Structure 1
Amino acid sequence: MAIVTVGRKSLADIVGRLVHLPNRTPEMAFDGIADQAFAEVAPYRYGAIAVGYYSGSSEWERHQAGDEIVMVLEGRTTVVVMVDGAAQRIELHAGELLVVPQNHWHRFEHSEHLKIMGITPQPSDHSLTLPAG
């Protein structure tokens, strides 16, 4: 029988240790420079619950194993989700959340002092440019 460990974590403490990344660019996803702006809160199912703190824009990403839940804790952002070949832009503010459907390319643009929590299935695909199809 497997041993299950149950514990609680302080989201405020974890987010409080993040270092603001003031000018995030899509390229930063591939160079490790943004590590202090992001932290894993806990593993969850086939992925993780994670937080980040930045301003700027992210690379394109998609999650083939399930939907991603993103919640804005502080700040604001615009999430661009590709739906049937068209970009849908959804502006999110503190206290709002969005479920990004499985296998849909998306990115975060024009984020301002964004503290965000994501429940993200893995694996994730990442791209600097929007992949065709």
Structure 2
Amino acid sequence: MEGGMITILDLKTELAKLTMLRGRTPQTTETARKGSGAFATLAPFRDGNIFSAKFAGDGAWERHPNGDELVQIVDGSATLYIMAEDGPKSFALSAGMMVIVPQGTWHRFHAPEGVTVVTATPKPTEHLTVDVEDPRTLTAAQLSNAVEEKWR
């Protein structure tokens, strides 16, 4: 076998370890997210990691400047909002669906009833720490004060 070691993930077992983070908002801090038991890093993958998450509420705007993100909805449902070149778009997603978010595209999830996802996410991730309607309207100075860059 060429390359590295094979990685086998038991998603049923890994997802059972998660607890639902209710009331998630764009201002929910990284410390609160990590301490909630709702987010886990499952394995390294290509230029990033495989993650799992279980939350209800609204995620922050985020983007991945170095690659596409693959998101599978495992349980529940969510609305995916993206900022496309021609304006905002929304997509209703439910269990069993998968979406590929293009590199550099601002996106966020709205999941009032709760959603469980597995993602293949490239590094870094830029998370906004403020709630804005359109992240593209922020100036460079505002962006520098409102982005958490994650290399996890």
Q: Within 1, Cα distance between the matches of 2:111 and 2:6?
A: 37
Q: 1:5 aligned to 2:10?
A: no
- Equivalent residue for 2:58? 57
Q: Within 2, Cα distance between the matches of 1:100 and 1:81?
A: 8
Q: Within 2, Cα distance between the matches of 1:77 and 1:111?
A: 8
Q: 1:132 aligned to 2:137?
A: yes
- Equivalent residue for 1:76? 77
- When normalised by structure 2's length, the TM-score is 0.80
Q: Which has the higher contact order (CA 8 A, sep 6+)?
A: 1
Q: Within 1, Cα distance between the matches of 2:7 and 2:44?
A: 12
Share of identical aligned residues, percent? 32
Q: Would you identify which runs of 4 or more consecutive aligned residues in structure 1 move more than 4 Å? A: none
Change (3 A) 1:20 1:125: same
- AA aligned to 2:6 is V
> How many correspondences in the alignment?
131
Question: Whose strand proportion is higher, 1 or 2?
Answer: 1
- Equivalent residue for 2:26? 26
Q: Within 1, Cα distance between the matches of 2:7 and 2:100?
A: 26
Give the RMSD, CA atoms, in angstroms: 1.7
Q: Within 2, Cα distance between the matches of 1:70 and 1:83?
A: 18
Gaps of 5+ in 1: none
Gaps of 5+ in 2: 139-152
How far is 1:31 from its partner? 4.0
- When normalised by structure 1's length, the TM-score is 0.91
Kindly indicate whether the alpha-carbon contact (under 8 Å) linking 1:78 and 1:111 is maintained by their aligned counterparts in 2.
no
How far is 1:110 from its partner? 3.2
